[in-house]
Chain A
């Protein structure tokens, strides 16, 4: 089986699974903001091996590379972007865990790959600037973690969190950690009630003198910059894929609705303005899909001056998903604003996806700023 055939087989299984287990319950879960649905779904996803997708084969996982994982996120997001966003965090955490100590890998990876074992092992990630409030203090042989992550995705149900701390004010001494979310001193705060991705249990998390064992380090202390970069690249790529899945869902709904709604003397899909909107949706989704796939497959398949960027993929895909969803609502007319049609939910979900990992304009600003460090100010 080629890698492509393998991926097709995986997405087919995941699509069937999600259409059965996730799609039908997603609207009601959104209505009730039922975050408890996440561990329930998670337990079922283990039947088709989703949590262990990126886990190396030597630990019993599927060893799927980034683009494969992103495709699965795209598939899941079609049915529920909220669940997909939990997967984004989880897969990004696994990407960071590749650099963890052998003991940690053994502990987490094997539990992830095992389809039967007990409680769900959901991972999540926190990157600067969200972690700039965190600090490490050395006390004898022990190291303690203190501070707050203002808003952490999957917080309530995460078993572990990979986070990165800037140890110097302007320095590049980055320390990466994997923190057990059940450890003493970890306090998950109140859900801020975001408008979308309502099943994802976002919350502020407070760390108070959390004892960090030597095994918790990702890479070497003060030298995890490259791991952070890898983790964040994966995360942005996955968020882009989640946005594409949501946009696909909106465009399908819009097409279906436009194919049966009669207005202005014809079925509305025969109006040119509707055709233009539907065409633009497919175009944006197509370009977005290429963007996240290319960003996650590395530097293959493009001219030498064009470097694939998961950051740009995230920004492009989440922004285009918002445009697609807004047009889809417009095509639905009043029905698009009503909960039962599920399109307005996609609008709320996409808004939060746009803001995960930092809002898009601030990311663009920050990206340029980070690349001009060698140009003098005056």
Chain B
């Protein structure tokens, strides 16, 4: 849109990551390849956001307002051709090798243009993240091969992660709550596998998904003890998509109800056995909450950028709106918060790359192997068979369990919760405040400012409501220190 005229943010000539976060400069000296990939992520994300997302976001938003099932496949293909749909997969295996830091930066750039469209493109990584939890090397390699193949053929493979139920949102994300939840979905053991019944709701990409990772209890009266994780192909008999929700914002991203009627799932699709389902959810949350914080950061940034563009062209009498003192102070205040939250988000991503599951891709043996071996070999059937062999799976699982113990997962849930609340509260505060600055005319649909405001609100609710995130934060940081016998 022609009103993006100040060389600031998305419309700046060229991004400079080190200038954005100078501390990364020191890291670049120690590990050039790591930071170079993050710089590449920033550049790719910004160009795609500016050239592809920005010009279409309003048309897509209004098309989805008319029909919530509308999907812009053309834009998705453009993202796919740039491999954004497989961004987390190492380069040698056919992805972009973006690391958690790269993905965070990519997410910030893209969500600053449109959160809903970003969800269509990046949330697909749930499949990979989910499989990395169990670390069945056979399944991980299969998913990577499938995703890379689909990317090359320009055909979509969508993954959705289904935990929320009509009667349980927060309850599926936390142990104490899960013990008391009233599930509607349940699985029963049948010969050769499981039979699933029930309804999941508010599932992002649920209506597009080819595969669904779902947490479902075996015993509805003991959900915590019997919660299991299943991988459910959308082609399964008895599976259907219910309504696609009409939402306030993030309309480009489809949110669907999933219905399971006597869906049969073979034994090998049980990813986590009964009792381990919550652990699976917690490990995914331990990384994704940080990314949602980064998405909030992006929405806030997008709002602020639009605010700068609008106020610098809006004339009041003989001057521009941005020249008013009160506007200057408000913008500076928001900039300050954005910078602080950005530092927190990048810090979290660095920790995921250094201590969490992503460090596997960054470890010297893996990077050396990836550097030495040819791609045709890495993606060959031979390697896939090898990865699916019992000794390899059990060895890999042992390494992974040592690498990502339960205590580490819970620590990351805590830190991720802090980043998530900070980022999404920032998104809501900034997008609302920007509306107050630009005024009624600035709220015209064509400026996209009101869209940021509509998009922001759900980030405070999904991936655990911010209240649930606060409970996690408190329990792990403070609650566990309190000795109940120390009463005065």
Binding site for B on A (CB under 8 A): 31, 129, 132, 150-151, 192-195, 202, 262-265, 273, 322, 326, 329-330, 333-334, 336-340, 344, 347-348, 351-352, 354-356, 358-362, 365
Contact = CB atoms under 8 A, between A and B. Distances in A.
A151 B171 contact: no
Contact of A330 (B330, B445, B462, B467): B467
Nearest to A333: B169
Given A193-B444, A265-B177, A361-B326, 18 more contacts: A132-B317, A194-B440, A264-B176, A326-B457, A329-B461, A330-B461, A333-B169, A334-B201, A336-B461, A337-B247, A337-B458, A337-B461, A338-B247, A348-B248, A355-B436, A359-B436, A360-B436, A361-B436
A340 B176 CA distance: 31
Interface string B441-462: 1011110001101100110111
Interface of A is mostly: helix
Contacts of A358: 439
Given A263-B171, A330-B466, A339 B246 contact: yes
B441 A151 contact: yes
A321 to B, nearest CB: 12
A202 B444 CA distance: 10
Most buried by B among A150, A329, A354, A355: A355
A347 B457 contact: yes
6 contacts: A329-B457, A330-B461, A344-B247, A348-B454, A351-B432, A359-B437
Chain B interface, DSSP helix/strand/loop, else mixed: helix
A351 B435 CA distance: 8
Interface string B178-190: 0110100000000
A361 B437 contact: yes
A351 to B, nearest CB: 6
Contacts of B324: 362, 365
A245 B428 CA distance: 23
B312 to A, nearest CB: 16
B245 A263 contact: no
A195 B180 contact: no
A338 B246 contact: yes
A355 B443 contact: yes
Contacts of A352: 440, 443
A264 B443 contact: no
Nearest to A150: B441
Interface of B: 164, 167-171, 176-177, 179-180, 182, 201-202, 245-249, 316-317, 324-326, 330, 428, 432, 435-441, 443-446, 450-451, 453-454, 457-458, 460-462, 465-467
Nearest to B450: A195
Contacts of B201: 334
Nearest to B62: A193
Given A339-B246, A347-B457, A194 B443 contact: yes
A365 B316 CA distance: 14
A356 B245 contact: no
A263 B169 CA distance: 8
Given A264-B176, A362-B439, A330 B246 contact: no
A321 B450 CA distance: 18
A206 to B, nearest CB: 15
Interface centre among B168, B179, B445, B451 (most CB of A within 10 A): B445
A360 B433 CA distance: 10
Nearest to A318: B436
Given A194-B443, A348-B454, A264 B180 contact: yes
A344 B250 CA distance: 13
A265 B170 contact: no
Contacts of A263: 168-171, 177
A31 B176 contact: no
B245 A338 contact: yes
B461 A195 contact: no
Contacts of B249: 337
A264 B179 CA distance: 9
A192 B428 CA distance: 23
A348 B439 CA distance: 14
Contact of B432 (A31, A150, A202, A322): A322
The list of the 8 closest CB pairs from A to B, nearest first, reads A265-B180, A192-B444, A193-B445, A344-B248, A195-B450, A339-B246, A355-B440, A359-B439
Nearest to A325: B457
Contacts of A273: 467
A151 B176 CA distance: 52
B253 to A, nearest CB: 12
Nearest to B174: A264
Contacts of A336: 461
A194 B457 contact: no
Contact of A339 (B248, B440, B446, B466): B248
Nearest to B321: A362
A262 B436 contact: no
Given A192-B445, A263-B177, A265-B177, A354 B245 contact: no
A133 to B, nearest CB: 10
A263 B167 CA distance: 8
Contact of A334 (B177, B444, B461): B461
A330 B465 contact: yes
